[in-house]
Amino acid sequence: MKKISNNIFFIMLISGSLITISANSWLGAWMGLEINLLSFIPLMNESKKNLMTSESSLKYFLVQAFASSILLFAIILMMMFFNSNWMMNNNFNNLLVLSTLLLKSGAAPFHFWFPGVMEGLSWINGLILMTWQKIAPLMLISYNLNYNFFLFTILFSMIIGAFGGLNQTSLRKLMAFSSINHLGWMLLAMMNNELLWMTYFILYSILSISIILMFNNFKLFHFNQIFNLSMMNPYMKFFMFLNLLSLGGLPPFLGFLPKWLVIQNLVEMNQMFILFIAVCLTLVTLYYYLRMSYSIYMLNYNKNSWLLINQHNNNNLTLILTMNFISIMGLLMISLIFMIL
């Protein structure tokens, strides 16, 4: 019965986002966001034993409900502005809408709830929060750009994403700060090109799926658990290492491709200053991925060899290896296809 209800809520979650994306009015978009929110909360609470999950779902609900109420207020103000001669500063209204949508997506300086909520979720729910839950707010943000405010948000997201993850021991919080940094890159892509941020988002989702499936499979939640992976298959260790480098945006992996496209776009637009800051801060995120990768390889505790357990079933392994192949070899494959065509 629980499985059926979870499936229903999951379908509602997807349909809520699709309603928002396809809405032709702000009120319709708001309604889609609400459906999406109310169907994600039961999915977050699937584990009754974990108190952190209840805390996370409450935090998520309060923040999102607060953002939704301000968004509705801004929409009503907008309707009053367009339907009467009532004088109002339209720039303020746009700023209000934009800030609520940034709060919903978890971009800095409205990121305060995101790492805390991630900390209490299972890996699969965390993956939904990092990828699918960002689609609807980002799509609405792309309709409502404010250049100066956007620039401030992008810089803040990149700085918080880079330096927030430096002293983290929890892998979920580390992935949350990584997501904030990537969100800064998506907003940077959105500023100049509509298609570019969608490409970035799709490739980021693929990378997140491949790394989170591995964390979920080996039940890794904290840094010190990685040290105990001495019994893990060395190939799987190597794949995890390469996946982290790919997520950090190191060539020649797939994670480099979206950053490459954004860099090329910014060079064409002659926006060198923000490009320089973005690349420098990405190096900081790469540092904490490398720190994690080093701990996978270099630090091993002794473990009894007769405790060797096969930790994954064949279906999981096939999916993980497929996603790893895409993440690691994706850029080379795309280059080959491009050369052939």
> Where in the chain are the domains?
94-339
CA dist., res. 160 & res. 109, Å (int): 8
Higher pLDDT, 43 or 305: 43
pLDDT grade for 160, boundaries at 50, 70 and 90: very high
Contact status, residue 217 vs residue 311, Cβ threshold 8 Å: yes
Phi, psi of 170 (to 5 degrees): -90, 130
Q: Render pLDDT for 175-216 as a digit per residue (tens, 0 to 9).
A: 999 999 999 999 999 998 889 999 999 999 999 999 999 899
Question: Is residue 137 reached through a cis peptide bond, with omega within 30 degrees of 0 on the bond before it?
Answer: no
Q: Does residue 44 contact residue 59 with C-beta atoms inside 8 Å?
A: no
CA–CA gap between residue 39 and residue 52 (Å, rounded): 19
Q: Name residue, tokens 């997807």.
A: 14
Report residue 300's pLDDT band, with 50, 70 and 90 as the boundaries. Answer: low
pLDDT band at 282 (very low <50, low <70, confident <90, very high): very high
pTM of the predicted protein model: 0.92
> Do 200 and 179 touch, CB atoms closer than 8 A?
no
Give the mean pLDDT of the chain. 88
The confidence score (pLDDT) of residue 336 equals 87
331 pLDDT exceeds 80?
Answer: yes
**% of the chain at pLDDT higher than 90:** 60
Cα 138 to the center of its chain, rounded Å: 11
Query: For residue 195, how far is the Cα from the chain centroid?
Result: 18
Higher pLDDT, 148 or 81: 148
Amino acid 301: pLDDT: 55
Q: Which has the closest alpha carbon to 77: 65, 90, 66?
A: 90
Task: Choose from 127-131, 141-145, 219-223 the range with maximum mean pLDDT.
Answer: 127-131
Q: Quick check: 118 pLDDT over 70?
A: yes
pLDDT at 236: 79
